[in-house]
Amino acid sequence: MKAIIIIPARYNSTRFKGKLLAPLNGIPVIEHVYKNAMQSKLADDVIVATDNSLIFDAVTGFKGNVVMTSQKHVSGTDRICEVARDLKTPDGKYYDIIVNVQGDEPLLRPEMIDDVIKMLHDEKAVMGTLKKAIKSVSEIFDPNVVKVITDTEGFAIYFSRSTIPYYRDIFGSVEHNLKINPVESELNIYKHIGIYSYKRDTLIKLTSLPQSVLEKSEKLEQLRAIENGIKIKVRETQFDTIGVDTRDDLKKVETCLNTYS
């Protein structure tokens, strides 16, 4: 099965405009993401899909593959679909698997990319993503940390900004009990790591569907898939990431890079 990584790269981020071009240890954030993606063992190629000439020029500058897309896309999924719909392998066939790697995830590891590709070797899986066990109590109750629960076969049941599952006997009536130790309490709460793999036809179908009720409520696009019966395979990873949404996030990522490099 042929797989390709497409990195949606929008310039006008609400909270941190131009963040993908922000310098991180001397090179742009998008270059870190691209170089990590290129280390995937299972993907055949990497392409940046952008709506901005500054990002286009930056990627061209470090000799990366980049294409211009429409500025009208509402989401990164729509952007990668524009590229993936007509994209073909060197032998003239459509790619089987499309991987959506966010352009603001410079700590994303190639092993994580390979994991979501391997998941789609399961015939029942048409989408794949990752989860990581939460060890920080503050993350359990943080609505910016998306949680996921899965069935016995590893398929997503639901994604939420709320705490799922809700351990009634542990949390009690005081929901934000920060004295809880997740390890000691043996809580099985997982956060969602926002990397996705799609079978090509599934990606095209998903982007053709209207926003769903739950998607609008939680502001989580993956709920559109669940509401429409699209099964999402979820695999646990030991790796964590920090998305660059603010300048403070950029500093945190830089600290991680300097600590573990």
> Which range has the worst mean pLDDT, 37-41, 136-140, 199-203, 250-254?
136-140
Bridge partner residues of 27 (DSSP): 24
Is pLDDT at 184 greater than 60 in this prediction? no
Q: Before 110, cis peptide (omega within 30)? A: no
Question: What is the predicted pLDDT for the residue at 127?
Answer: 98
pLDDT at 175 over 60: no
Percent of the chain with pLDDT over 70: 94
Domains located in the chain, CATH noted = 3-240 (3.90.550.10)
The pLDDT confidence band at residue 14, using thresholds 50, 70 and 90, is: confident
| Contacting residues for 68 by C-beta, under 8 A, at least 6 apart | 50, 51, 53, 56
CA nearest to 202, candidates 127, 254, 146: 127
**Helix (DSSP H) and strand (DSSP E) numbers for the chain:** 11, 11
Query: Sign (positive/negative) of CA torsion 227, 228, 233, 237?
Result: negative
Residues 6+ apart with CB under 8 A from 255: none
Query: Could you report the per-residue pLDDT of 111-154, keeping only the tens digit for each?
Result: 999 999 999 988 889 999 999 999 888 899 899 899 999 999 99
* Number of neighbouring beta carbons within 10 Å of residue 210: 8
pLDDT of amino acid 179: 62
In this prediction, residues 52-58 reach a mean pLDDT of 97
pLDDT value, residue 258: 86
pLDDT at 183: 57
Structure tokens at 246: 């603010």
Contact 73, 221 (CB under 8 A): no
Question: Could you say which DSSP state residue 133 is in?
Answer: E
Per-residue confidence (pLDDT) for residue 173, from 0 to 100: 57
What band does 187 get if pLDDT is binned at 50, 70 and 90? confident
Residue 215 pLDDT more than 60? yes
C-beta neighbour count of 231 within 10 angstroms = 17
How much is the mean pLDDT over the chain?
A: 92
pLDDT at 176 over 80: no
Average pLDDT over residues 229-237: 97
Burial (0-12, 13-18, 19+ Cβ within 10 Å), 45: middle
- Would you state the structure tokens that stand for residue 25, as one six-digit string? 């240890």
Tens-place pLDDT, residues 69-109: 998 998 999 999 999 999 999 999 999 999 999 999 999 99
Confidence of residue 177 (pLDDT cuts 50, 70, 90): low
Provide the whole-model pTM: 0.93
What mean pLDDT do residues 201-205 have?
97
Rounded to 10 degrees, the C-alpha dihedral 113/157/126/152 comes to: 80
